Structure 1
Amino acid sequence: MKKRWFICLIIGIIMITGGCLGYLQFGRDMDVYGSHAMTADNYHEERLTVVVNKLYVADQKACAEEIVKRCRENSFKSVRFSYDQSIPNALYVTVYASKRQAERGKQMFSFSYLPQDSEGTYNIIDDSEEFILEREE
């Protein structure tokens, strides 16, 4: 009887732990933690702090592409960009695992999304084929 109770307890602990870890990795959505815009003449630069709400990010390039996609679609949960005023010509993003990591300054990675040709006035929505995503070290 004690053996059966012990096995049930171990299985319960494994299920609870697995569920908690699953939630921490897959149950929460990324969001913007902070943003800063700079505009001068026809140039608009957006600097974002994004919290991915994950324990780890296996493919940082895919994560960065998803962030850019959400910026282009203006589909973050807590932030709406005012693209009717101006659309960013440059995007700089710092990515953190959680809000707590952002408060501590422990970033996962950062990247920029910039036009290949710095002479043009391209923006991230209308001219996405002109941009290069570059992970910064």
Structure 2
Amino acid sequence: MDAQKWDPLLLPFAGDVLSRCDDGQLEAIAERAAILEFDAGCQPRVLAEALAVLDQLRQTPWLLTGLIVLQVELGDAVQWMLATDPALAHQHIQALGGVVLAVLDPAAVVRRQYRGVALLGDLG
């Protein structure tokens, strides 16, 4: 979805988030904004769009930082891959013969899987 479709008042505040969204996420934001504007009477439109962006961030908080964790199955083991470039991460995983199981919030993964502290390594 083109940035021109969004209210110019929204872009300085949410432009980075919108640029990190995939087409499905952008569509969900636009649909949520329309529901807020027309069904809930949320005016002006830019407020409905801002609330829709906040709702998307609630569901996918990594859009704020651009940092994701991919839960990956490699052989019989589950691994965690930290990435800023999902396409490149998928290429690495495919080259290793792995399968992406989920895309997750890095903070949640570090908290749950590593008890709050994780040591990062390089794929090389």
- RCO greater where, 1 or 2, for CA within 8 Å and sep 6 or more? 1
TM-score by length of 1: 0.26
TM-score by length of 2: 0.28
Kindly indicate which of the two structures has a greater share of residues assigned to helix: 2
Kindly indicate which of the two structures has a greater share of residues assigned to strand: 1
Looking at CA atoms only, which structure, 1 or 2, has the larger radius of gyration?
A: 1
